[in-house]
Chains A and B, each alone.
Chain A
Amino acid sequence: ASDVSVLWLPLPRSLLTCRTAEPLEYHRSFLKENCRPDGRELTEFRTTTLNIGSISTADGSALVKLGNTTIICGIKAELANPTVEAPGKGYIVPNVDLPPLCSSRFRPGPPGEEAQAASQFIADVIESSEVIKTEDLSIDRGKLCWVLYCDLMCLDYDGNILDACVIALLAALKNTRLPEVTINKETSAPEVNLEKRWELQIHKHLVSASFCIFDDSILISDPTAEEETLSTAHLTVVTDEDDRLCSVHKPGGTSLSGERLQECISRATTRQREIQKLIAKVAHSVKKAQ
């Protein structure tokens, strides 16, 4: 299907033939003209769409589409005993899954390196930003607390899954309603009222912005899967609404100068505003519909 999509581009045939044979040359010829094969400018993000609360079996859910990339996040809350080290805290357990369904590059079986690295990244971001205070998840100090299983699943892998994951996670957390729990004084057993639910308090609204470096020098934002494989380095910047940075994640690759990094950070802050607006708009329309 991807070969067919090339054909609508109004370009000379000589250019078309080389996409499969020489993808790097193909991309370079676009970047020279300050644009990209999908018609975007270098710093442009793909259209982002958001759908909140579509999964009724989950306590909170969101589906994000970033161009073709699709991530669904479902949050399930369960009860558990807190750890001895942190008796007044709950757990947040994020996991990213890249099933063979989302791209032909993934095989069935346990998560591969990319999925594991993404899970760790999301876990780190949650911990660094304190998007949710784990203290809020405590029910009975030292005895009972909530575990939020945040399962992120990729349904269509077309690059930049980290950005989509962070948006999906934030939107799903905003959508999460936890049932009320009271501890029975006599039996000291928890009693759950599934009808009465409360909203989680979101302390930080984080948004991530990812970039790729092409040929050691050209910076592009929101890379597609093809651009990711051809580029020489990736960078993800996570910011919160106070313009503080929660993560500057660059797992290796070619070097990046300080000025370039500054550029990425300022682009990330504008992206933060865009996504904030989007989430607020969708959340508002969901509330209205209820």
Chain B
Amino acid sequence: MTPSACDKSAFSTMEVCGSLTVSLREFGCEQSLLSRPDGSASFVQGDTSVMAGVYGPAEVKVSKEIYDRATLEVLVQPKVGLPSVRERSQEQCVRETCEASLLLTLHPRSSLTLILQVLHDDGSLLSCCLNAACMALMDAGLPMSCLFCGVTCAISTDGQIITDPTAAQEKESRALMTFAIDSAKHSVLMSSTKGSFSVHEVSGLMTGKKECAPFQTNKTVNAKPKRPDVTNRLH
């Protein structure tokens, strides 16, 4: 596994892992690409692309102040139009995941703001948002107890599991699940599902996603030495 600097266009596809075929679309990340926020990152998964910016720790509004920890606000901006109820639910998922991994108690009575701008949605949007959020928080140098990554899996009508589906694959699928997995214990931080599925399928996915996890967490580890303009790739 060697991180290499390369152009986004030069990505190759992912390979097999363990018993389960885990194929992800080519993905890439760039950190510190914006000058105004305290931390920023863009994350690309196939054609899905999200830009994230972090501001803080900064002064907090009195009404939102929490006496023993920092207040985290997450804003998801859709590609077009105003944020709707769907974005609000994504915000909730990302915020609570970040809250679990950030050491918020180190910055009591202050505010952190994370803005996620969707640049293009071609499936697995929530997982891309989570990945972008994690990279941006790291870039901002905020203390975290663990890293996390997002994985989206779709179960197609014939029962096949597709990881990191495109929008077309999502539409055809019977069920769609997004998990956030932490780097320390490889356990589930967040789960959000659509469609109906059996207990067996979800436990199968749990093991599947665990095999996925080392991949994805590695990629975040690779990104640690902050080099602007470097996109990290796992090979």
Contacts and interface: CB of A to CB of B under 8 A. Distances in A.
Whether chain A touches chain B in the assembled complex (some CB pair under 8 Å): yes
A132 to B, nearest CB: 14
Contacts of A18: none
A10 interface: no
A240 B187 contact: no
Interface string A192-236: 000000000000100000000000000000000000000011010
A36 to B, nearest CB: 23
A255 B182 contact: yes
Contact of B100 (A249, A252, A265): A252
Interface in B88-135: 88-89, 91-100
25 contacts: A113-B91, A116-B88, A117-B88, A120-B89, A124-B89, A127-B194, A129-B196, A204-B196, A245-B193, A247-B194, A251-B89, A251-B97, A252-B94, A252-B96, A252-B97, A253-B100, A253-B189, A255-B100, A255-B187, A255-B188, A255-B189, A257-B185, A258-B187, A258-B188, A261-B188
A230 to B, nearest CB: 13
B157 interface: no
A113 B100 contact: no
B206 A261 contact: yes
Nearest to A243: B199
Contacts of B185: 255, 257
A128 interface: yes
Contact of B191 (A127, A128, A232, A249): A249
Interface in B153-207: 175, 177, 180, 182, 185, 187-199, 202-203, 206-207
Nearest to B207: A258
Interface of A: 113, 116-117, 119-121, 123-124, 127-130, 204, 232-233, 235, 240, 243-258, 261-262, 265
Given A245-B199, A258-B207, 5 more contacts: A243-B198, A245-B196, A247-B194, A253-B97, A257-B187
Contacts of B177: 248
Contacts of A120: 85-86, 88-89
Nearest to A252: B96
Contact of B198 (A245, A254, A257): A245
Given A119-B85, A120-B89, A249 B193 contact: yes
Interface in B51-108: 85-86, 88-89, 91-100
A247 B93 CA distance: 14
Contacts of A127: 194
B100 A254 contact: yes
Nearest to A234: B96
Among B85, B182, B189, which residue has the most Cβ atoms of chain A within 10 A? B85
A252 B177 CA distance: 14
Contacts of B100: 232-233, 252-255
Contacts of B192: 249-251
Interface size class of B (residues with CB under 8 A): 35 or more
A244 B188 CA distance: 20
* 8 shortest interchain CB distances as A-B pairs: A252-B96, A120-B89, A255-B187, A252-B97, A116-B88, A250-B191, A117-B92, A258-B206
Nearest to B187: A255
Contacts of B207: 258
Contacts of A130: 196
Q: Of A129, A204, A235, A255, which is in contact with the most chain B CB atoms at under 10 Å from its CB?
A: A255
Contacts of A262: 199, 203
A4 B198 CA distance: 46
Contacts of B95: 252
B91 to A, nearest CB: 7
Nearest to A130: B196
A44 to B, nearest CB: 22
Nearest to A129: B196
A165 B188 CA distance: 25
A113 B92 CA distance: 8
Contacts of B187: 255-258
Identify which of B98, B188, B197 gathers the most chain A CB atoms within 10 Å of its CB.
B188
Given A119-B85, A120-B85, A233-B100, A252 B190 contact: yes
A252 B99 contact: yes
A127 B89 CA distance: 15
Contacts of B199: 243-245, 262, 265
Given A117-B88, A255-B185, A258-B206, A248 B191 contact: yes
A246 B196 contact: yes
Contacts of A253: 96-97, 99-100, 189-190
A61 B48 CA distance: 42
Given A240-B196, A258-B203, A262-B203, A252 B89 contact: no
Residue of A119, A123, A253, A262 ringed by the most chain B CB atoms within 10 A: A253
